Amino acid sequence: MVATDVALIGAWFEGQKYFQAGIKVQPIWQEQHTLLKRACLWLDAYFERKPYPMLDCLSPQGTDFQRAVWRELQTIRWGETLSYGELAKRLQCRSAQAVGGAIGRNPLSIFIPCHRVLAADGRLIGYAGGLEKKAWLLRHEQISVNKE
C-alpha cells in the first residue's frame, strides 16, 4: 500500500500488472502511518467478513475518465456484480472496452472493488491481480463464479 500524508493512493497485489503505474507523488511507506493503519484495519474487517465503512481517504490518481469509473466501482456492494457493459451504461459510455481499460488501471485493488465486474455472460475476465485472485475474492464475498 502507498499513501501520501493525506490519502491512500495505491494498493496492489504482489506482482500485479500496472504496479504503481501513474503514481506521481512521493509516497510514504512507513508502517505506522495513520492512513496505512486505517487501511489495514479495513482489510482485516473485509477478510473477516465484518461490516466495514468505506474509507474516506481514497485518492486514486488517473484521468478524469478513470476516476469516474473508479468512483462508480465503489457503488457495487459486497455480494453484487456488474458486467462491463452495465457499468459502461451507468457511466453513459459507449465503450465497455474503455471502461475495462480504466478498471484494469485501478490503483486501489479491493478498496475499489473492480473484482466485482464480470463479462456479460458472467465469466471472469480482466483482473490485473490475476483471475485466480479475482475468483477467490468473489467466492470470499459468496458470489458464485463461472471461470469458463
> Are 37 and 100 in a shared domain?
no
Residue 146 lies in a domain: no
- Pairing of β 82-83 and β 2-3: unpaired
Residue 56 lies in a domain: no
Cell of 64: 478524469
> Are 129 and 88 in a shared domain?
yes
Residue 147 lies in a domain: no
Mean pLDDT on 58-74: 94
> Are 83 and 27 in a shared domain?
no
pLDDT digits (tens, 9 = 90+) for 14-37: 776 655 555 555 555 566 678 888
> Are 76 and 129 in a shared domain?
yes
> Are 97 and 71 in a shared domain?
yes
Pinpoint the alpha helices (H) of the chain: 34-47, 64-73, 84-90, 96-104, 131-140
Instruction: Please give the pLDDT value at position 5.
Output: 81
Mean pLDDT on 130-145: 92
In degrees and rounded to multiples of 5, residue 10 shows phi and psi of -160, 140
Q: What is the CATH number of the domain that holds 114?
A: 1.10.10.10
pLDDT digits (tens, 9 = 90+) for 71-127: 999 999 999 999 999 999 999 998 999 999 999 999 998 999 999 999 999 999 988
> Are 39 and 71 in a shared domain?
no
> Are 41 and 75 in a shared domain?
no
Distance CA 108, CA 110 (A): 6
Instruction: Please give the pLDDT value at position 129.
Output: 85
Provide the domain count of the chain. 2
Specify whether the CB–CB gap between 7 and 57 falls below 8 A.
yes
Residue 58 lies in a domain: no
Half-sphere exposure of 45 (CA within 13 A, CB side): 14
> Are 27 and 68 in a shared domain?
no
Mean pLDDT on 31-44: 84
pTM: 0.84
Instruction: Please give the pLDDT value at position 69.
Output: 98
Cell of 76: 457495487
Q: Look up the domain containing 77 and give its range.
A: 64-140
> Are 76 and 134 in a shared domain?
yes
Residue 11: pLDDT band (50, 70, 90) is confident
Is 114 annotated as catalytic?
A: yes
